[in-house]
Every structure is written in structure tokens, then in C-alpha cells.
Amino acid sequence: MRVVIRNAHLVDKDGDHGKADLYLDKGLIQGRDLGGPCDLELDASGHLVTPAFVELHAQFRDPGFEVKEDLQSGLSAACAGGFGTVVSMPNTDPAIDDPALITSLQNRAKAAGQARLKPAAALSRRLEGQKLSDFAALQAAGAVMVTDGDLPVKDAHLMRRACEYAGELDLLIQTHSEDTKLAQKGVMNEGRMSQRLGLPGQPASAEAIAVYRNCELALMTGARVHIAQVSTKRSMEIIEWFKEKGALVTAEVTPHHLLLTDESMALFNPYFKVSPPLRTSEDVEYLRKALQKGSIDNISTAHAPHTRADKEFDLLLAPSGMANLEIAFPLLYSELVQNKILHLETLLSALQEGPANVMKWSAPSLKEGSPADITIIDLETPRAVQPHQFKTKAKYSAWEGQMLKGWPIATFIDGKLAFQR
């Protein structure tokens, strides 16, 4: 199918290309201002046209927890958020530790006709942190990284062996860095706010200590280790130091850790309960600066859908996580770009070129011959966050009712219209 996106304001990793008619054909970008008949024509006047985003950390709960999310709803939510490629976490039932499960996920995702799925495989068998999975077999089946998702690898020796094995395969390890003995059952950041609210807290050191260990093992073994969901200034300082030493470590940050502080917990609203927890304004400020200067490699939503019933338990019992795939870009654009805290080019890079570089993939581009994964974004029209209209099954949000700009209004995957607002 041949498609033309007319009057497109084209921006990609190579810069601002001005306005042109962009042509898509046979799943690829055909070129600009070509003319000729098309099967579909869209007018993008006044809108930004850019490569679809890349997500390296999403929980789709499938198989086993489809009441929270499944491949169809999760990949549809990704398209609604402007994402063209998504790495799914292996925290399912059964855990994704078998090559057959990787194959099944890929086949079902392809049939869904939404965002491209790139499955991550379990680092340890059954996510138990006892024995390594068969990395080589999982990679051969299509796994793009190994990780135990939001479960930290507690055993340092197991983590060392994982780094050595993955290093031989040039396979990325993504890790949730948390010393669980220090974190205990904390439901928020340990500090002034937790003391004031009388809630059990997690010290920032619980993250920093684990980050140091994982970075040290990356340096020791030469493995590529991706530190997921960095939330503190201290953790980021450690990562920056190890990068200077030559460790092959990369780091991601989430929208909520860039936008919210532990002050949000004063509402006692479980929607703000995440892992790692929301930190202080000093941490948020440092992470923003690290993103702007390039120390942080990418932004991931850490999409973690739950049922509303689960999320509305008492704060001590409610599960952690936010479902932010559909509103990540509007949130970050409205709060950071429009308030001149972050450049638009930096935000786009953190969602496109940054994650691609982490994975050693070709960076998303609007060049002729590139995959036709495109999102069209309305930067001007304010729209309210309306969770009941979400594609995800998690139809609730900490930002419900907030007026935001920067909404994706159409997403093409492989040259086919997968979403239109």
C-alpha cells in the first residue's frame, strides 16, 4: 500500500527537514515530494512527523496475567503513544525462559498488526535467581536482551556469570538495581516525607549500592549492562563514573522519575506507588540535567499495568507501577519541553536514537529506504488525559484530567496505519 503524508513537518535524528510530502510504500519510506497515485492520503498540516518511538521496558503480562494486559491491548497502547517497537519484559506465567515462548510471542504479536514486539528473555530460570537461562537458545529464537524484569538479581555470583555468558553473545543485560535487604518493604522514598507521612521508606542507598555492583561487574566482564529505571542522583553519579572508566553501562529514566517527587505520596494515592519509588526534588533535578547532557541514554515508560481493583488497595498492599505508554510523550513534552527544561530534540533522541543505540539497532530515521514506522504528533492542541479511552486495560492514571499537548494522532507500522486518534 502506497501512502502519502502531506504537509509534514519532518524531524528525525539528522535534524529538522522542514515541510514536505512524505511517501511510504511496501513497508519502507519511499521519499519526499514524489507525486503519483496513493492508496491513502493524510494531511499533517501543523503537525510533527517523526520516526515512531522505541520502548525498552514494558510489562505486557502475557501469558498468565491477561486480566491486567495482553499483547493486543499492550501493543495497541504502544501505537497510541507513538511507539513503533517495544521490548516486553519476561515477568509472566510461565516466565519467558523457553525459546518456544519467544517464538509464540513473536507470532502472536505479528498477527496483532500493531507495534513491533521484541521479547526480552528471563535472565534466570523461572525468574527465581538461582540458575541461568539458556541465553544462546533464547537469543537464537529472537530474544533481544536478558533480564529478570523488575526483580533484582540478588546473587552477585549469578550476576557475574550472566555478564560473562551474555558478553560472549554480545547480548544486553537489563537489570533492576535494588538491594532488597535495605529496601525492605518500603512503599516510598525514605526521607523527610516518609517520616512525616508515617510510611515505610526505601533509602536511596538501596538502589545506589546495587547500581555500583552491577556497573562493577560490567567493567569486570566487559558485558553490556543496562541500568533500568534510575531514580536517584547518587545512582546517576555512579553510572557516570563507570562510563568514564570504560564500563559498557547504559541507563534509562522513566517519565514519572523526571516529573514527580515523593511529595506526591502525601495524597496517599496508590497510583503514585512505583518501584523504584519517587524520589526528592534534588534527584529529579539531577536526572533532568543528566538527560539533557546525554549521561542518560534513553527514556523508558516502564509500562506496568494492573487492574484498577489491585491498584486501589491500601497503599501498603497495592502493587507498584504506572501504565504510561499512551501518555509518555504528551507528559514529557508538556512538562519539560514547553517549560524549556528540555529541548525537543533531546526528548525525541531519548525515545528514538537513544534506545536504538542501547540495543545496537539502526536508529529510527526518515531516510529513503528506512522502515516506515512513523508517528504524527499534534504539538498544539491541548487534550485532557482520559483513562477510560486508553487502549491499555489499565484505565486509570495519576494524571487523569490534566490538559496536555503533544498527543500522537496517527502511527504507522511497516507503512500501515495502526492507530489514528
pLDDT at 379: 97
CB 301 within 8 A of CB 57: yes
Instruction: For residue range 325-349, list pLDDT tens digits in order.
Output: 999 999 999 999 999 999 999 999 9
Determine if residue 268 is left, alpha or beta; phi over 0 gives left, psi from -120 to 50 gives alpha, anything else beta: left
pLDDT at 28: 97
E-strand spans in 148-241? 172-175, 188-189, 201-202, 225-227
| Residue 326 grid coordinates | 499512551
Rounded CA Rg of the chain: 21
| Residue 357 grid coordinates | 543505540
Neighbours of 267 (CB within 10 A): 12
pLDDT at 310: 96
pLDDT by 10-residue block (mean), the chain, 421 residues: 96 96 97 96 97 98 97 98 98 98 97 96 98 98 97 98 98 97 96 97 98 98 98 98 98 98 97 98 98 97 97 94 97 98 97 98 96 98 97 97 98 97 93
- Burial pattern 3-39, b for ≥16 Cβ within 10 A else e, equals bbbbebbbbbbeeeeeebbbbbbeebbbbbeeeeebe
pLDDT at 75: 98
| Residue 130 grid coordinates | 538461582
pTM (2 d.p.): 0.97
| Residue 224 grid coordinates | 553490556
What percentage of the chain has pLDDT greater than the value 90? Answer: 100
pLDDT at 141: 98
Delineate the domains of the chain, giving CATH numbers in brackets: 3-47+381-420 (2.30.40.10), 52-364 (3.20.20.140)
CB 349 within 8 A of CB 342: no
